Amino acid sequence: MGTPDFSVPILERLIKSEHQVVAVVTQPDRPKGRKRQLAASPVKQAAQAYEIPVYQPEKLSDELDEILAIEADIIITAAYGQLLPEKLLQYPKFGCINVHASLLPELRGGAPIHYAILEGKKETGITIMYMAKKLDAGDIISQEAVTIEADDHVGTLHDKLSRVGANLLETTLPSIFEQQNNRTKQDEAKATFAPNITREQEKIDWHLDHYAIYNHIRGLHPWPVAYTLFEGERMKIWWGERNEHTFSKAKPGEIVAIDDNQHHITVACGDSHGINLTMIQPAGKKRLQMKDFLKGNPNVFQIGQIME
């Protein structure tokens, strides 16, 4: 049971293993792109390529009897997107387990990869856990840590964690089937949460320090992408880099430098250091490297202008 790209390597590893994937459950087709045409989830596309039956209930209760009738020995979820009803949780012989992209009990919820970077963590990982009625609160079976590099963003960390998740699941499953696996209760006092990112969270707060703003940019790259307001219009900030120079008299959000080689502009942060903006997307325009944008728009940015 899974939906996005994160789940695909996990599904494919199971398909190529000694185990038989008897069915896949994923979210219904959703409108996508500018034309809002219905598109299948990445997991559905992968399942169809291997001719595996696919179920797409809007709510699991709508097709619960059909799913129970499959008589699966175990249910494995990975970023599925719905909570499993109690009846389903208790049904399979070997239970329902989840591949979660954090070191639980940290970062329970739908956006653990984003929050790991937003919060400036140096490490995150994968947890294989038994599913419980409460979100991401089940007993831990196995975990593997993954280092977050200084230049990692959601895309790179997503791919690392997906691969680690597939590997850890494959090595963990035998102990579950042999009923010799670990089962460690989570410490509720240490639980933290990573709810889905809201539109309000995408906006950069230039009053924060430059480390926090750098983490904000890479913690929303390449989706949903951070933004700022420039001359009253929304401008997406696809990428930026820390600038350790001190701009003691600058206001937060103030443009303090335009690189001579037109590779970036520098915006002051709340701690008097800066962020070099290297890839932007002004309202109604395509995403561009800053050097390419400045070539065609040399007078758009001026020192002293304020981003909000």
Query: pLDDT class for 18, splitting at 50, 70, 90?
Result: very high
Query: How many domains does one find in the chain?
Result: 2
Which domain range does residue 224 map to? Answer: 200-296
Asked whether 252 and 269 are in contact (CB, 8 A), the reply is: yes
- Residue 275 included in any domain: yes
Q: What is the pTM of this model?
A: 0.95
Q: 285-296, pLDDT tens digit by residue? A: 999 999 999 999
71: left (phi over 0), alpha (psi -120 to 50) or beta: left
49-64 mean pLDDT: 96
Residue 30 has which token pair? 């959703």
- CATH (domain of 173): 3.40.50.170
pLDDT for 262 beyond 70: no
User: Within a domain: residue 139?
Assistant: yes
- Tally of helices (H runs) and strands (E runs) in the chain: 8, 14
Same domain, 173 and 210: no
The verdict on residue 308 lying in a domain is no
Kindly tell me the burial class for residue 284, based on how many C-beta atoms sit within 10 Å of its own C-beta (0-12, 13-18, 19 or more). Answer: exposed
Separation of alpha carbons 82 and 264, rounded Å: 42
Q: What is the pLDDT of residues 164-193, one digit of tens each?
A: 999 999 999 999 999 999 999 999 999 999
Q: Does residue 302 belong to any structural domain of this protein?
A: no
Q: Are residues 36 and 179 in the same domain?
A: yes
Over residues 214-239, the mean pLDDT reads: 98
Mean pLDDT of the chain: 96
Cβ neighbours of residue 262 closer than 8 Å, sequence gap 6 or more: 290, 291, 294, 295
